[in-house]
Amino acid sequence: MMFVSSSSPIYQVADAVEMVENEKIFEKIVTLTTYSANIAETDSTPNLTASGFEIDLDNPKKHRILAISRDLKKELKWGEKVVLENAGRFNGIWYVRDLMNPRFRNKIDVLINEGDKPTKLYNVILKRLE
């Protein structure tokens, strides 16, 4: 009988393969809109996101904050890095830090600065950064 310890290379490789197989690949086509950190578009605490992240109100967009609809929250965690594609000037890496109103589904909101042009885009690809 052969004993394989948890520190053996065979055991470590098996664990790594199982972790990769169990990891969910997340990719979704969503609608993108924008929002600003103000009471009219958020709640009574526009400097705080739903995750508790504190926004610099002088330049909110520097944080690259993404608010997600609640159906997407089932797949994504607070602070998780995601990539946007087919999103024009919003392409790139963003951080899940806020939550949208329950009435929205399959939608994301990108935090912009006051005075930036509001935008709505369809068929944006949202991917978990691996």
Name the nearest CA neighbour of 107 among 81, 76, 130, 78: 76
Return the domain boundaries, the chain: 26-128
Domain 26-128 class in CATH: mainly beta
The predicted pLDDT at position 7 comes to 52
Q: Are 64 and 47 in contact (CB under 8 A)?
A: no
> Taking the chain (130 residues) in consecutive chunks of 10 residues, what is each chunk's mean pLDDT?
50 45 77 95 92 96 98 96 97 97 97 96 94
Non-local CB neighbours of 12 within 8 Å, separated by 6+ positions: none
Q: What distance in Å separates the CA atoms of residue 126 and residue 90, rounded to the nearest whole number?
A: 11
Q: What distance in Å separates the CA atoms of residue 110 and residue 96, rounded to the nearest whole number?
A: 10
